[in-house]
């Protein structure tokens, strides 16, 4: 059943180049299995939610269609996932995502917390840096937006609506770390997720520190250190 779902998700998302394609899903799936084992959770429910969590993401299908979860529902139906399990998975997906967390919506089940942690863990660390650059390049091509503007500073307390706003000027590769990625360490919901997030968070801090140092951007280095102190 899980392999059938994985193959359908692979076919659906294989063409994505924004950092939200099947490579991302596969890493979240792997992390979910590891966390579920450590946290003694229902592995099947957690794995299905991990595989399906981005099938209807608003960045891929639009805000209106994202609410319907039509891709996730159809894939589970095709793979004969029991109805009770389907509902658990859908409830997890409905409560996941950074923009939802800005509205106070977070998973409540252990399996949901695990998948949320796995998804956020893949947004940080070495793979997170690559994904951030992938998405920035897509945005650059779409809106002719720069990767980094040293005179455009991050907006640090964005609402969910502001965060999702297309072509927002501050939304570039470097600012995304301050507007979201450096906050994720403190949003982990399981003990296992918290431990892994500490390591991945430091990788991003070291990258930014060196990125600013190599360009002689002392003001951005100070901004980074002040941000971390706060």
Ranges of each domain in the chain? 2-110, 125-229
**pLDDT mean over 145-151:** 89
Return d(Cα 228, Cα 132) in angstroms, integer.
20
pLDDT tens per residue, range 89-137: 999 999 999 989 999 999 999 999 999 999 999 999 999 999 999 888 8
pLDDT tens per residue, range 159-192: 888 887 877 778 899 999 999 999 999 999 999 9
pLDDT at 36 > cutoff 90? yes
pLDDT at position 113 is 98
Return d(Cα 88, Cα 42) in angstroms, integer.
11
CB 96 within 8 A of CB 111: no
pTM for the structure as a whole = 0.91
CATH 1.10.472.50 fits 2-110, yes or no: yes
Confidence of residue 207 (pLDDT cuts 50, 70, 90): very high
- Long-range Cβ contact pairs of 25-28 (< 8 A, separation 24 or more): 25/50, 25/51, 25/53, 25/54, 27/122, 27/127, 28/53, 28/115, 28/118, 28/119, 28/122
Q: What is the CATH number of domain 125-229?
A: 1.20.58
Confidence of residue 19 (pLDDT cuts 50, 70, 90): low
Confidence of residue 218 (pLDDT cuts 50, 70, 90): very high
2-110 against 125-229: fold identical: no
């Amino acid at each position: 059943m899980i392999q059938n779902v994985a193959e359908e998700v692979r076919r659906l998302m294989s063409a994505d180049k924004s950092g939200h394609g099947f490579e991302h899903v596969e890493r979240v799936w792997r992390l979910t299995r590891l966390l579920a084992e450590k946290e003694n959770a229902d592995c099947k429910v957690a794995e299905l939610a991990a595989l399906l969590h981005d099938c209807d993401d608003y960045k891929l299908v639009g805000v209106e269609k994202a609410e319907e979860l039509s891709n996730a529902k159809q894939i589970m139906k095709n793979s004969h996932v029991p109805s009770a399990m389907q509902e658990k998975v859908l409830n997890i997906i409905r409560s996941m995502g950074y923009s939802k967390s800005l509205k106070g919506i977070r998973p409540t089940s252990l399996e949901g917390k695990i998948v949320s942690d796995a998804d956020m863990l893949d947004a940080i660390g070495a793979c997170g840096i690559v994904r951030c650059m992938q998405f920035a390049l897509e945005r650059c091509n779409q809106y002719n937006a720069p990767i980094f503007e040293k005179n455009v500073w991050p907006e640090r307390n964005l609402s969910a609506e502001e965060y999702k706003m297309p072509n927002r000027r501050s939304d570039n590769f470097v600012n995304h770390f301050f507007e979201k990625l450096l906050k994720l360490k403190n949003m982990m919901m399981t003990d296992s997720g918290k431990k892994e997030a500490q390591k991945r968070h430091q990788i991003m801090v070291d990258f930014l520190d060196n990125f600013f140092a190599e360009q002689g951007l002392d003001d951005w280095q100070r901004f980074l250190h002040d941000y971390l102190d706060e």
